[in-house]
């Protein structure tokens, strides 16, 4: 058994773990990184990257069939599904070197390709190696949650970890779960020529603004996705090519393939957390605002920390703990400025409070500023006029922004900056946006906040009248 002593031990080579390992090593710490599965974690291999590559292919197919509005003849796309999946694999392969073992060893990180398990509060065993570390960062991420629906254990099903291994297009894909993953994949597969049914026990995209989420649901229905809400799966039965999902209310859905997209579960089982005195919660490892566990030498970041499960959150968490473990500086993870995006078409983006949340918290002090895509000249030119932006404002300061429409995921970046830095609406109005751009929507919605105060205010009109009368 080999024994190793290090400054920082990182368990998990996903987005968060890689960021910690790279940052710590490049700033002079001795770092050991454990990964028992794939370098790059879920995002590179089964999540963000392959799903966005598939969505890009589906957009291209959809565009061929929907260009008549530009004076170009529509064409029925000829989808080579195996070639589409080759494209997905090619995208992963192109990005993989950035997350590779070789790159991190080049940065001075010792990479051990084994799963880690605590044997004491400061020691972890990985294969035939025991690592003693001054500070430990757990970044083991999450995996698909497969609910205990009767019959599921005897029926073949897909998750995001197996979906991209398909080589033949599903004839009829049943998707259990109407969150971002389910909705993104529903639109992608229907555009590639599959029949698709989404089965959701609650409402679709329930975490987002319901008014804006409804526009996404309506779009998917128009494109041919069958959507069933309030349809909690009670039984799953059948065999490959002939699967049935039975809802509690008796509705039955039949398809050829089944994708389970009902949420995520933190990867804690292999870690033997009890040996390190680390407590868990219902969603992962229990952490404080500094992402420190009940063992003060151990931090948890990303999905395992039990909060928002996004790659960019894991990256943000990495920066928080690096300040703490490398420099001993107080550092806390905030949530109010974290954006998220559902990459359907139209895209759905959120940062801060939704309108419902803002009304509950701020009551009559809340003002909701709106601006529609069909009032934006670039959106009109590109026939992308479906959508709107809503900014929840309290005393001149945005507390949340919801956007549905073309490039919503790009537009939300500005508002994430605004919320992170406590900026006000006047700061956005002072920005000069190039014309014509979709980004001009951000400035126009800020202008919409001030318009009633300026144009519908009798006092302003009286002042202007007096100035015009007496100004030489």
Mean pLDDT, the chain, rounded, equals: 95
* Residue 160 · residue 288 · CB < 8 Å: no
Q: What percent of the chain has pLDDT over 90?
A: 94
| pLDDT for position 432 | 95
Task: Give the 3-state secondary structure of residue 184.
Answer: helix
Per-residue pLDDT at 451 exceeds 90: no
Q: Is the pTM of this model over 0.85?
A: yes
Q: Which fold has domain 2-39+100-144+265-327?
A: FAD/NAD(P)-binding domain (3.50.50)
Identify the band that residue 132 occupies on the pLDDT scale cut at 50, 70 and 90: very high
Domain residue ranges in the chain: 2-39+100-144+265-327, 152-264, 339-455
Q: 152-264 belongs to which CATH class?
A: alpha beta
Per-residue pLDDT at 66 exceeds 90: yes
- 339-455: CATH architecture: 2-Layer Sandwich (3.30)
Identical topology for domains 2-39+100-144+265-327 and 339-455? no
At residue 171's C-alpha, the angle toward residues 196 and 214, to 5°, is: 10
Q: Which tokens go with 260?
A: 């389970």
* Residue 266 · residue 278 · CB < 8 Å: no
* Residue 384 · residue 377 · CB < 8 Å: no
> Tens digits of per-residue pLDDT, 391-400?
999 999 999 9
Rounded Cα–Cα distance for residues 143 and 162 (Å):
12
Per-residue pLDDT at 52 exceeds 70: yes
> Tens digits of per-residue pLDDT, 307-340?
899 999 999 999 999 999 999 999 999 999 999 9
> Tens digits of per-residue pLDDT, 258-311?
999 999 999 999 999 999 999 999 999 999 999 999 999 999 999 999 989 999
Per-residue pLDDT at 457 exceeds 90: no
Please state the rounded mean pLDDT for residues 75-87. 97
Identify the band that residue 464 occupies on the pLDDT scale cut at 50, 70 and 90: low
Rounded Cα–Cα distance for residues 190 and 346 (Å):
15
Identify the band that residue 461 occupies on the pLDDT scale cut at 50, 70 and 90: low
* Residue 225 · residue 124 · CB < 8 Å: no
| pLDDT for position 470 | 75
Per-residue pLDDT at 458 exceeds 90: no
End-to-end CA distance of the chain: 91
């Amino acid at each position: 058994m080999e024994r190793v002593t290090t400054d920082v031990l990182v368990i998990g080579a996903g987005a968060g773990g890689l960021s910690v390992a790279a940052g710590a090593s490049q700033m002079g710490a001795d770092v050991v990184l454990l990964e028992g599965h794939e370098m790059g974690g879920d995002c590179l291999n089964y999540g963000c990257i392959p799903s966005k590559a598939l969505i890009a292919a589906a957009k291209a197919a959809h565009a061929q069939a929907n260009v008549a509005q530009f004076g170009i003849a529509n064409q029925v796309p000829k989808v080579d599904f195996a070639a589409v999946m080759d494209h997905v694999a090619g995208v992963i392969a192109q990005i993989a070197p950035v997350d590779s073992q070789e790159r991190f060893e080049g940065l001075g990180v010792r990479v051990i390709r084994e799963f880690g398990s605590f044997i004491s509060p400061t020691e972890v065993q990985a294969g035939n190696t025991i690592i003693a570390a001054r500070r430990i960062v757990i970044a083991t991420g999450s995996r698909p949650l497969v609910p205990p629906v009767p019959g599921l254990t005897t029926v073949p099903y897909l998750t995001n970890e197996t979906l991209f291994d398909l080589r033949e297009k599903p004839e009829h894909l049943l998707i259990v779960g109407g969150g971002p993953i389910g909705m993104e994949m529903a639109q992608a597969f229907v555009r590639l020529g599959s029949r698709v049914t989404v089965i959701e026990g609650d409402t679709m995209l329930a975490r987002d603004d319901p008014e804006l989420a409804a526009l996404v649901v309506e779009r998917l229905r128009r494109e041919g996705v069958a959507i069933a809400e309030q349809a909690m799966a009670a039984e799953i039965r059948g065999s490959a090519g002939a699967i049935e999902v039975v809802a509690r209310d008796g509705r039955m859905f039949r398809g050829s393939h089944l994708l389970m997209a009902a949420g995520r579960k933190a990867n804690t089982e292999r870690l033997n957390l009890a040996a390190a005195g680390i407590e868990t919660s219902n969603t992962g490892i229990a952490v404080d605002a500094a992402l420190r566990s009940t063992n003060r030498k151990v931090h948890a970041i990303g999905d395992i920390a039990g909060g928002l499960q996004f790659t960019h959150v894991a990256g943000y968490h990495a920066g928080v703990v690096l300040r703490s473990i490398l420099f001993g500086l107080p550092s806390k993870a905030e949530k109010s400025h974290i954006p998220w995006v559902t990459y359907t078409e139209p895209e759905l983006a959120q940062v801060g409070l939704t309108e419902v949340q803002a009304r509950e918290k701020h009551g009559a002090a809340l003002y909701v500023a709106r601006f529609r895509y069909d009032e934006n000249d670039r959106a009109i030119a590109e026939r992308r006029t479906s959508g709107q932006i809503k900014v929840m404002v309290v005393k001149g300061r945005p507390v949340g922004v919801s956007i549905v429409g073309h490039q919503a995921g790009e537009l939300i970046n500005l508002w994430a900056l605004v919320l992170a830095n406590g900026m006000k609406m006047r700061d956005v109005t002072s920005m000069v946006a190039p014309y014509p751009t979709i980004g001009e929507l951000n400035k126009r919605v800020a202008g919409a906040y001030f318009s009633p105060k300026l144009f519908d205010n009798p006092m302003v009109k009286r002042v202007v009248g007096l100035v015009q009368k007496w100004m030489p």
